[in-house]
Amino acid sequence: MATTITLVQGDITEQHVDVIVNAANSSLLGGGGVDGAIHRKGGPDILAACRELRAAQYGKGLPTGRAVATTAGRLPARWVIHTVGPVWSASEDRSELLASCHRESLRVADELGAKTVAIPAISTGIYGWPMEDAARIAVEAVQQAETRVEEVRFVLFDERAYEAFAAQVR
């Protein structure tokens, strides 16, 4: 069955889905933006799980474009999948890494048996990626992914982000 892409304007921490994707950094120890909101609302179990992952596998950090799952703590989701988006660069094409964040998140979601996955506009905040370009890369990556996930819900924080994603799925 094909994956359905849906769009909502809102806060990703409030989504009732199997998986919430976090726009993390390679330290896995939290930060601002979506990452800060997820750790704040999800509580300390998420950070504890991230610390365990670091100790076991990612002492040098989770590479850009990769994804790992933890508990979702007190959030209404079952799991958080942490992925590290690329920092925007005007001189270097990093779009393959941004596409990889989406593919890898869906691959990990498949491993968990997740059917509904909420994804924010990865790299478009602190990491500076232009919204229209990020929306195109994100939507194409999900459309081309081979996954058993039934719904990918892009959760966009403001109207500008929502409109940029809407232009790609029309």
Enumerate the active-site residues.
35
The contact mask relative to ligand AR6 for 146-165 (x = CB under 6 A, - = no) is ---------x-x---x----
CB atoms within 10 A of CB 109: 27
Looking only at residues 35 through 94 of this chain, which bind ligand AR6 when binding is defined by CB under 6 A? 35, 37, 85
Task: Verify binding: residue 21, ligand AR6, rule CB under 6 A.
Answer: no
| Binding residues for ligand AR6, total number by CB under 6 A | 24
Residue 151's closest CA among 142, 161, 141?
A: 142
Q: Are strands 67-71 and 79-84 parallel, antiparallel or unpaired?
A: antiparallel
Q: Which of 19, 20, 21, 24 binds ligand AR6 (CB under 6 A)?
A: 24
Q: Which of 4, 11, 16, 113 binds ligand AR6 (CB under 6 A)?
A: 11
Alpha-carbon gap, residue 135 to 150, rounded angstroms: 20
Q: Which of 8, 47, 112, 126 binds ligand AR6 (CB under 6 A)?
A: 126
- Its sign, for the CA torsion 47, 52, 55, 61, is negative
